[in-house]
Amino acid sequence: MTNKKKYIGEVEESKAGNSALKVNQGIEQPPQVNPSFRKYKRVKRILTISDYVNGILAGNVNVLSQAITLVESRLPEHQDLAQQIIEKCLSLGKKSVRLGITGVPGVGKSTFIEALGMEVVNKGHKLAVLAVDPSSERSGGSILGDKTRMEELSVQKNAFIRPSPSAGSLGGVARKTRESIVLCEAAGYDTIFIETVGVGQSETAVHSMVDFFLLLMLSGAGDELQGIKRGIMEMADAIAITKADGNNVQKAKLAQAQYQNALHLFPQTESKWTPIVLTCSSLEKTGIGEIWETIKNYETHARENGFFEKNRLRQSKYWLFEALNAALKERFYDDSLVKTELKKLEIEIENDKISSFVAASKLLDIYFKKK
């Protein structure tokens, strides 16, 4: 393992070949994309698209990591390369189950992911752990901060843990994570965990890229809950009450019953799956197997009634329209004239000088006349 900074695609001439790519295995460093890459002496050999694709298909972790780094890069040439790799990988690796895991800091997310991850790996699966959390929203409990707690999982041959991209908007990070899923699946990972901190906007994004959404909760139904955004509970396919160990077991069982009752009052899900509440202890490794079984039961259920594939297809369309709409908005709101006028109009709205709709049409007139 080395901490030396590496540039993307760089291969030392003397050790050319996949085995010599110097990207750390297991837990990785945050991606180091050097924006002044071109200023430096060109390295001798850059991987070609086929190098990447073949490396990924062969399950080479180093190549996979480098490809994800390309996905995360903001340089146009890296983006081009990344898109071509993704396109080649797209029709491969469709057999995965994608699991979204969320919960506020303090719920024990990292230790839970380690425990469930070990369960999955021990069952013979190949597991990739990704994250969706724009750096600005990050707080404790993220993969990177807790890497010491994933010690056991991170050294597993069949586990690939990748921290969240270190910067970017939610939309950008979500896109990168979704594209990374494609690469991981092509590399043979049949189980993908996507972690998110349950306090921001990222849950909807994660919910729109996973098959199963797991919400981790603490047993106390009091102040701890305030961090969870309203609406997240209704997205959950299962709730796991964590830290059900020691003298916390009774409290956890009580919380389980309460949440189960609450979920029964919710309208039925489109998948026709009844959300389940479970308890577990990552420390004592209890309840972890049941959670994995629940996820597999869901998979069987959703594949049999056709929801699984239908949902995947809908998610693909969702991201198409998300990307389109985001680009349209970005172009508009980044326009300097729009910026200036928008500020003025917002003040007029605050003072009841203009209605929201009239303000909108004024701004649109300004924008489209300019073109």
366 binds its own copies (CB under 8 A): no
In degrees and rounded to multiples of 5, residue 296 shows phi and psi of -65, -40
**What six digits make up the tokens of 100?**
């979204």
Q: How far is the CB of 253 from its own copies (least distance, A)?
A: 15
Among positions 13, 77, 87, 293, the unique one binding its own copies when judged by CB under 8 A: 87
Q: Which stretch binds its own copies (CB under 8 A): 17-25, 56-64, 130-138, 357-365?
A: 357-365
For its own copies, the closer CB: 249 or 326: 326
On whether the CB atoms of residues 65 and 162 are closer than 8 A, the answer is yes
Q: How far, CA to CA in Å, does 137 sit from each of 101, 146, 199? A: 16, 16, 8
Among positions 14, 91, 148, 336, the unique one binding its own copies when judged by CB under 8 A: 91
For its own copies, the closer CB: 58 or 358: 358
Q: How far is the CB of 327 from its own copies (least distance, A)?
A: 5
Nearest one of 27, 130, 22, 38 to 78, comparing CA atoms: 38
**What six digits make up the tokens of 136?**
């600005």
**309-328 b/e (C-beta count within 10 Å ≥ 16 → b):** eebeeebeeebeebeeeeee
Among positions 20, 320, 337, 347, the unique one binding its own copies when judged by CB under 8 A: 320
Q: Cα–Cα–Cα angle for 72, 74, 75, nearest 5°? A: 120
Residue 108, classed as helix, strand or coil, is coil
305 binds its own copies (CB under 8 A): no
Q: How far is the CB of 285 from its own copies (least distance, A)?
A: 27
Among positions 4, 264, 369, 370, the unique one binding its own copies when judged by CB under 8 A: 264
Among positions 50, 136, 169, 316, the unique one binding its own copies when judged by CB under 8 A: 316
148 binds its own copies (CB under 8 A): no
Q: Cα–Cα–Cα angle for 229, 235, 237, nearest 5°? A: 130
Q: How far is the CB of 331 from its own copies (least distance, A)?
A: 8
What is the C-alpha separation between 240 and 218, in angstroms, rounded?
8
Among positions 310, 329, 339, 344, the unique one binding its own copies when judged by CB under 8 A: 329
For its own copies, the closer CB: 149 or 175: 175
201 binds its own copies (CB under 8 A): no
What is the C-alpha separation between 24 and 62, in angstroms, rounded?
7
For its own copies, the closer CB: 155 or 313: 313
Q: Which stretch binds its own copies (CB under 8 A): 57-65, 160-168, 172-180, 288-296?
A: 172-180
What is the C-alpha separation between 67 and 289, in angstroms, rounded?
33
**What six digits make up the tokens of 185?**
């699946």
- DSSP annotation of 222: S
In degrees and rounded to multiples of 5, residue 123 shows phi and psi of -85, 5
Using CB under 8 A as the criterion, which residues of the chain lie in contact with its own copies when the complex forms? Answer: 83, 86-87, 90-91, 94, 175, 178-179, 182, 221, 225-231, 233-234, 258-259, 261-262, 264-269, 313, 316-320, 322-325, 327-329, 331-332, 345-346, 349-350, 352-361, 363-364, 368, 371
